[in-house]
Each structure stands twice: as C-alpha cells, then as structure tokens.
Amino acid sequence: MTLHIDHDVCLNEPSCPAALSCSTQALFFDPSTQKLFFNADRCSGCGQCVSKCAYKALSLFENSTELSAYLENISKVRTSFSSKLETLLGLK
C-alpha cells in the first residue's frame, strides 16, 4: 500500500488525529521537517488514517501505478480550475 499526503491541504500538526490513529506508526509527524511522513514498509493498509483526516488530505492506494494515475488526474483538475478561475477574474 502507499499513502498520498496532500501537503497543500494537510495542517501538518503534531496532534494529527490520523497519525495518532495509526497503530503501526506508518504515518507520523516528523519534527525535523514539521510534516507528516509515511513509511510504506509499516503500513497494513487498514485505512484508519484516511477516515480520521477531516481535511481529506490522505489517499490510500494499492500500488504506485494507482497513485501515479491519481496524481495525474489531480494535476489536470488543478490546471483546469486555475484556468477557469483566471478567466472568471478577467486575468486572461
């Protein structure tokens, strides 16, 4: 399993309920970077962290292929949204 942490959305708090709910410590707050960190080797794929994140910053995937497809889709959506917002604001 692999976990994507959207650091644009994540509050990266030491008291993150998602990280605290991880029974294997696969997801934890790293004080040296001040961000959540994921260790795939420890993850059991239980999905507990995803359900605990109030900001939907976490997404769990079976493998890197699924994650890559997800990231590609997110990139397209963000590009499209930015373009539409610029048009709405008369910036282009």
State which of residues 5, 27, 53, 57 lies at the interface with ligand SF4 (CB under 6 A).
27
Which phi and psi angles does 29 have, rounded to 5°?
A: -85, 125
CB 52 within 8 A of CB 21: yes
| Near ligand SF4 in 28-67, by CB under 6 A | 43-49, 60
Residue 65, SS3 per DSSP: helix
Q: How far is the CB of 45 from ligand SF4 (least distance, A)?
A: 5
Q: Footprint of ligand SF4 on this chain (CB under 6 A)? A: 3, 21-22, 24, 26-27, 43-49, 60
